[in-house]
Amino acid sequence: EPEVTQTPSHQVTQMGQEVILRCVPISNHLYFYWYRQILGQKVEFLVSFYNNEISEKSEIFDDQFSVERPDGSNFTLKIRSTKLEDSAMYFCASRRTLGYGYTFGSGTRLTVV
C-alpha cells in the first residue's frame, strides 16, 4: 500500500536554528498538508498546498514557517528560527483529490532545546 514518507523521524535542534522537515507524498496525490501535535494535545492543522501554492494556512503558520515542493516529489516544511514551543510531532499528509481520505506519514518528532 502506498505510503507518505517523512524524514527524519526525530530531529533535535537548538533554539534559533533553522530546520527542514521532509515528506514524500503519494505520487498521484494532488493535495498536501502539514499538521502538528504538541505532546498530549490535539492534532492541529498548519497548512495546505495545492497546485504549487498554499491554499490555506492556520494562525500557527506565521512568517517563520514556509513550505515548498521543489521537485515534484518532495514536500518540505521549513521553520526559520525555531522556538521551544515548536517542539512537537509534525505530520505530513496527502490526498488524491477532494472527498478522499488523507494518508498521513508517521511523523517527525521535533525537539527544540
Partner 1 sequence: DAKTTQPTSMDCAEGRAANLPCNHSTISGNEYVYWYRQIHSQGPQYIIHGLKNNETNEMASLIITEDRKSSTLILPHATLRDTAVYYCIVRDPETQGGSEKLVFGKGTKLTVNP
Query: Which residue stretch of 14-22, 64-72, 76-84, 98-106 sits at the interface with partner 1 (rule: CB under 8 A)?
Result: 98-106
Binder of partner 1 out of 91, 94, 110, 112 (CB under 8 A): 91
Residue 28, C-alpha cell as written in the block: 498521484
Name the nearest CA neighbour of 86 among 21, 15, 7.
15
Using the minimum distance from each CB to partner 1, give the nearer residue, 42 or 52.
42
Closest contact distance (angstroms) between CB of 13 and partner 1 is 19
Burial class (CB in 10 A: 0-12, 13-18, 19+), 14: exposed
# binding residues, partner 1 (CB under 8 A): 28
Q: Residue 89 interacts with partner 1 (CB under 8 A)?
A: yes
Longest dimension (CA), the chain: 40
Name the nearest CA neighbour of 29 among 112, 80, 101, 108.
101
| DSSP β-bridge partners for residue 24 | 5
Binding mask 44-83 for partner 1 (x = CB under 8 A): xx--x-x----xx-x-------------------------
Residue 108, C-alpha cell as written in the block: 517527525
Which residues here bind partner 1, judged by CB under 8 A?
A: 4, 31, 33, 35, 37, 42-45, 48, 50, 55-56, 58, 89, 91, 93, 95, 98-99, 101-107, 109
